Structure 1
């Protein structure tokens, strides 16, 4: 098996039927809008026990304030008068390891394909267990998988990426650490070329940097596309399987995975246009729905389990020293706006609000998702929205993220 074919299989771009290797040369069709991905050969079939550690929490002093903060943006506001920031949202907050709020507001599906509002009877209300497309929150999961390989001595942060990916042979100055911290100089634009997923991936991995490696912070999906390829090659398994077996299963995250099966469609929030249950990110779609930078779907309660593990020193995922490394700013030389650890933002008030400032870490996703973990206050905030429904150009939801964070910080 060639390295490229192994990488393609590991990224999940082989056929949904599992496909013998002989069939990998045929392009896998891109996800079909509206219908969720088929369940055959899906990593969702890997059993995940649900320990139910997050029973619906009692009403607390945070609950009413968080509901008000999140609900405010279901309608246009003076700051954003043309459209709501999002049609629906789910929120989970915890303080000192105890649930403080777990609720949903608005609609998981509110608009038709032409962006007109559906009649009330045809809308799908958001629920606390609604499944959202996480977009770039996927990167944190990829980082955890990579750090597990670091702990086993399989991955060297300061090794050139070309040691693990021959596609980087002409980029010897880019190290693994630079992929983690977005300092590789790779472009923010992901250059898709068309054709089979295998060719698309290889084309992206061979893309030259647009800045000298290590000289600036430039957030780029290409970093985590490459890091995901490294993880999959070293583990010799698909990313969807690795997330399910190494993260979801140990934590009981039963509602988390790539390529959600059709049976889960009623619980999935719509994204842009007619998309529902298939990945919104075009690069991840081109790779078959599974990539290191995007493609995961999850719920607020599942992400609360994930966040609690990281806040608690790593739980079954990572060693405490590795979590400390993960949430230590590696980009101090580039200024506070570039503060980034190994897979997470550090103290970014633009969406962390008043939780930022004392070592808070987290990440956002383009579709309207976010997680913030504050070790100082022992606070956790997960806000998942479908702000790209029906149109990603309608606006971002940092105001809502900040408003919710400010309530929790209070």
Structure 2
């Protein structure tokens, strides 16, 4: 999701898209499309239903069946909306980012994979990162194991499953590349100063999810401590955090279900004597990203 939103913000900085564009010009049949903006897709205040469970069910039914982004959007659009008006609440939804990815393709007349290569992977030399839609990971790779599917044996290997989360989470990468991406994400690679700051300010109502980033703030000063994101697919998970005051980056990957939240916290606690000076906001450190 961080890659898709970064590309979207780059296009906004170039005047090819606006945070205030409503999605009815691309998806008029989605409920409340005339009220849902690109900003709401990015900070998950749109209220469009998440398709996480539906994606797992599709994976489990046939791990080699590739589902198109348009089909995923149709599935999400057919589910009940969140019980709030667009922009008035928060519902984390992969459908939002899949819609955003398709909008980026329509605006540029390029595939999302091409946009990734041209705007992020190539310039940042993330040579071991790709949009993995065919289930063909480049060796050497880590096998991923899932227990999500009741119809499959425990610890089923998912490393050769096709991935169809599209812009919402179908990237394959390495720990080295994820760390490099954490630096680029934190520094706002390719973004104008105003859009770097907008990522932190345009949160969902009263929350900590900005434009494609999760923001951790000091409760005493409201200064930003870190920004980053986590993600998971059956058998794999990842988490990257950029600490604003020091520029330190933590990157974690796992090859099992359940995300990396608990593992991430455990690592930080174990290394607290070393980590604390890096992540504690210093006097005069504030939320603006240079």
TM-score by length of 2: 0.74
Q: Aligned in 2, Cα 1:262/1:156: closer, same or farther, shift over 3 Å? A: closer
In 2 relative to 1, CA 275–362 (structure 1 residues): closer, same or farther, beyond 3 Å? same
User: By how many angstroms is 1:171 displaced?
Assistant: 2.6
1:51-97 Cα distance to aligned partner (Å, 9 max, x none): xxxxxxxxxxxxxxxxxxxxxxxxxxxxxxxxxxxxxxxxxxxxxxx
> What does the per-residue CA deviation read over 1:284-337, in whole Å, with 9 as the maximum and x for residues that have no partner?
x4xxx35111100111211222222233352xx323332222233523x43xxx
1:216: Cα distance to partner? 1.1
In the alignment, is the contact (CA less than 8 A) between 1:325 and 1:342 conserved in 2? yes
- In the alignment, which residue of structure 2 is the partner of 1:264? 138
Question: Is the partner of 1:347 in helix, strand or coil?
Answer: strand
Q: Secondary structure at the match of 2:167?
A: coil
- Could you tell me how far 1:268 is from its partner in structure 2? 3.5
The structure-2 alpha-carbon separation of the partners of 1:307 and 1:295, relative to structure 1 and needing over 3 Å to count, comes to: same
For the structure 1 residues 172 and 263, does the alpha-carbon distance in structure 2 shift closer, same or farther, using more than 3 Å as the test? Answer: closer
**Residue 232 in 1 paired to residue 139 in 2?**
no
Query: How do 1:9-408 and structure 2 match up within 5 A?
Result: 139-168=1-30, 171-189=33-51, 197=68, 200-204=71-75, 206-207=77-78, 209-211=81-83, 212-259=85-132, 262=136, 264-272=138-146, 273-279=156-162, 285=163, 289=164, 291-314=166-189, 317-331=190-204, 333-334=205-206, 338-347=207-216, 358-366=224-232, 367-388=236-257, 396-406=259-269, 407=271, 408=275
- Separation in 2 of the partners of 1:227 and 1:364? 18
* CA–CA separation in structure 1 for the residues paired with 2:240 and 2:167: 18
Superposition misfits of 4+ residues, deviation over 4 angstroms? 190-196, 260-263
Count of aligned positions = 246
Higher RCO (C-alpha 8 Å, min separation 6) = 1
**What value does the CA root-mean-square deviation take over the aligned residues?**
2.9
Mark the runs of 5 or more structure 1 residues left unpaired by the alignment. Answer: 1-138, 280-284, 350-355
Question: Helix, strand or coil for the counterpart of 1:381?
Answer: strand
| 8 Å CA contact 1:258, 1:290 repeated in 2 | no
